[in-house]
Amino acid sequence: MRSLIAVFLLCSSFLLTAQNDWLTRLHDAHSDYIVDELEGRRFKHDHIVALLGQLGSDFDVKVEGQSVEGRDIYTVRYGNGATKVLLWSQMHGDEPTATAAVMDMFRFLSASGDGFDDLRRTLRDRLTLVFIPMLNPDGAEDFERRNALGVDLNRDALRLSTPEAQLLKRVRDELDADWGFNLHDQSRFYGAGYPTENMATLSFLAPAYDFRRSVNPNRERAMQVIAQLNAGLQRHMPGKVARYSDAFEPRAFGDNMQLWGTSTILIESGGYPGDREKQYIRKLNFASILAACQSIATKGYRSFTKADYNKIPYNRGGVYNDLLLREVKYRHSDDNEYLLDVAFDLQEREYLGARRFYFRGRIDDIGDLSYQRGYDEFAGNGYTAEIAKAFPELIQNLAAVKEMDQMALLRAGYAIVKVQKPGRPWEQAEQDVLVVGAEGIYDRELAVGLNPPLIIRDAAGVVKYAVVNGRLIPVE
Ligand SMILES: [Zn+2]
């Protein structure tokens, strides 16, 4: 009997492995299909239009309508199977990770002779995939969440005030979609569970369709697909998968899609260490969405349960910071010392028509932050932090600042340089010292929302680190 059980366990684990293999195979193969034209997260509608123009005869590309500012919104259809799947990305203009992954998927679906032809045949024959890449092109242009009217499209599923929401609803109804993929980005500050050692790299949700959060078969099968993806993703980023609260939002698209009978899967691209531009998360999207389609086509999700889904830890906001100084002694202007944790975030500021960004540091919290986590952490035990001093001389221009030995300035406790012609903010942000105007205005205290430059000394009083514009700089 015991050996029978062992054989059974072996077989069932083999079965699960085989199903999750797709995710791993796609993950490992992704680099062959990356659309290099899409760099970073601030690509625009023009880029997408150019790429859609290159798609071959396997795809049916159609202009479905226009945004408020008149940009064409497209559908891309692939396959002619009985099961209808609708995938829409970037309904929030500053959430582009899945749009890039979808473009990589088109390149993958266009390929052949690479060992994936059987998968393509399965998808083509059993599914009809309809993509709406970049549903909010006006928002993407400014790297803004909302559309050109200032409306959050994800709160317009009922009133349908906006042309973008009308389009999404109409495409869903015409297709009578069986499945829906609602593709977003979330802040990289979410944790997977709480307390946690992991950021939420991908968060999922099978949205509720009523306030009671009922589970009907349509919603349940979305949960099963998510449970399967979770099992596969754990191999690549253990502990970094989370699930959203299923509180019902009566105006949101995901919730209403579920209500309208479309089994809906929300995917949110969060954060990953060293991946500010979310290019690894793009790969995870590519692998997850394709593996989910494979599962839907073959009903592979049936080996997973609602209970598997419910084991995924909840997504928790505000758990991570960009820089966390732990238990550092802070010398206050009253000359007393206080033991504090200090958390900084790096805010993104747009320039060059929202094609580029630079960072501005901002204190997010101060105090006992024992349960916070940092992408960058500093163990402050034995160190003392103080507000940095301003270098006494006025410098002519930014070029002259670049000529200065900035490490020597930091070693001497100076992290602020007053400059007659201080240049553009994005050029200033590249320096190791804080560049300010001739008036010498900068934040001189610790407080939430401020960006004070800090000097950090060891027990002997020697400067070892500085925090300038939210970045920890080792001082050599
Ligand atoms: Zn979103």
Model confidence over 36-71: pLDDT tens digits?
A: 999 999 999 999 999 999 999 999 999 999 999 999
* DSSP percent split of the chain into helix, strand, coil, nearest 5: 35, 30, 40
Q: What is the domain partition of the chain in residue ranges?
A: 2-316, 321-474
* Residue 119 CA, ligand 1 centroid: distance in Å: 30
pLDDT at 325: 98
Q: Which two tokens stand for residue 214?
A: 């009922």
Judge contact between 272 and 190, C-beta under 8 A.
no
C-alpha torsion angle, residues 425, 428, 429, 433 (rounded to 10) = -140
Alpha-carbon distance values, 45 to 50, 141, 473 (Å): 9, 7, 37
pTM: 0.95
The yes-or-no verdict on residue 16 having pLDDT over 90 is no
Cα 75 to averaged position of ligand 1 atoms, centre (Å)? 19
139 C-alpha to ligand 1 centroid (Å)? 12
* pLDDT tens, residue by residue, 376-396: 999 999 999 999 999 999 999
- Alpha carbon 356 to its chain centroid, in Å, reads 17
| Strand partners of residue 466 | 455, 473
Taking the C-alpha atoms of residue 102 and residue 298, their distance in angstroms, rounded to an integer, is 21
Residue 177 CA, ligand 1 centroid: distance in Å: 21
Distance from residue 268's CA to the centre of ligand 1 (Å): 7
- Rounded distance from Cα 184 to ligand 1 centre (Å): 4
Topology classification of domain 2-316 = Aminopeptidase (3.40.630)
Report d(CA 80, CA 126) in Å as an integer.
Answer: 7
Residue 190 CA, ligand 1 centroid: distance in Å: 14
Q: Which two tokens stand for residue 443?
A: 């934040």
In the chain the first and final C-alpha atoms are separated, in Å, by: 66
State mean pLDDT over 76-80: 98
**Element housing 9 (H / E):** helix 2-29
Give the Å distance between the CA of 424 and the centre of ligand 1: 31
Report the pLDDT value the prediction gives residue 353, as an integer from 0 to 100.
96
Mean pLDDT of all residues belonging to the chain: 96
Length of the chain: 476
Tokens 């092109």, residue located: 137
| Helix-helix angle 279-298:2-29, to 10 degrees | 130
CA 203–ligand 1 middle distance (angstroms): 12
* Alpha carbon of 149 to ligand 1 centroid (Å): 17
Work out the average pLDDT over 395-421.
98
Tens digits of per-residue pLDDT, 1-13? 555 555 555 555 4
**Ligand 1 centroid from CA 278, angstroms:** 15
- DSSP H/E element including 173: helix 163-175
145 CA → ligand 1 middle, Å:
7
| Residue 92 CA to ligand 1 centre (angstroms) | 5
pLDDT at residue 205 is higher than 90: yes
* Phi, psi (rounded to 5 degrees) for 401: -65, -40
Task: Tell me what pLDDT residue 18 has.
Answer: 59
CA of 127 to the centre of ligand 1 (A): 26
Distance 388 CA to ligand 1 centre (A): 39
What span, in angstroms and rounded, lies between the C-alpha atoms of 12 and 15? 5
Kindly state the percentage of the chain with pLDDT values over 70.
Answer: 96
DSSP bridge pairs for 181: 87, 265
| Secondary structure of residue 245 in the 3-state scheme | coil
Ligand 1 centroid distance, CA of 476 (Å): 42
Tokens of 67: 């945004």
Average of per-residue pLDDT across 306-330: 98
C-alpha of residue 468 to centroid of ligand 1, in Å: 31
Q: Mean pLDDT across the stretch 248-268?
A: 97
What is the pLDDT averaged over residues 202-211? 98
Residue pair 473/429 in contact (Cβ under 8 Å)? The answer is no
Query: How far is the C-alpha of 58 from the C-alpha of 36, rounded, in Å?
Result: 21
**Residue 95 — pLDDT band, cuts 50, 70, 90?**
very high
Residue 14 has pLDDT above 70, yes or no: no
Please tell me the predicted confidence (pLDDT) of residue 8. Answer: 53
Dist. CA 266 → ligand 1 center (Å): 10
Region for 449 from its dihedrals, namely left if φ exceeds 0, alpha if ψ lies in -120 to 50, beta otherwise: left
Distance 238 CA to ligand 1 centre (A): 24
Question: How far is ligand 1, taken at its centre, from the CA of residue 91, in Å?
Answer: 7
Ligand 1 centre and the CA of 244: distance in Å?
A: 13
- Helices vs strands, H then E, count in the chain: 13, 21
- Ligand 1 geometric centre to CA of 368 (Å): 31
**Residue 431 dihedral angles phi and psi, to the nearest 5°:** -85, 160
CA–centroid distance, residue 249 to ligand 1 (Å): 14
Tell me the CA–centroid distance for residue 95 and ligand 1, in Å.
Answer: 6
